[in-house]
Amino acid sequence: MKANSAPPAAAKGPGLAETGTNDNTAAIAGVAAALLVAGGGTAVAVRRRKARRDA
């Protein structure tokens, strides 16, 4: 059985890659939640308007 004879790769730049969350995650989640609430409110308003018109 052959041993791995390749030389180790030289580290370039920082030691480890950046992983995990970044600073924009909270802002993106906030905008998504606001859009969901706005969409739900629009749906309720359209249903009420249609029900009022049909009555």
The contacts of residue 39 (CB under 8 Å, 6+ apart) are: none
The CA distance from 48 to 42, in Å, is: 10
Q: What is the pLDDT along the chain (55 residues), one digit of tens a residue?
A: 556 666 556 556 667 777 766 688 889 999 999 999 999 999 999 999 999 998 7
The whole-number pLDDT of residue 15 equals 78
pLDDT at position 11, please?
A: 57
- Under DSSP, is residue 39 helix (H, G, I), strand (E, B) or coil? helix
18 vs 6: CA distance, rounded Å: 26
Q: What is the pTM of this model?
A: 0.54
Q: Record the tokens describing residue 40, joined without a space.
A: 């739900």
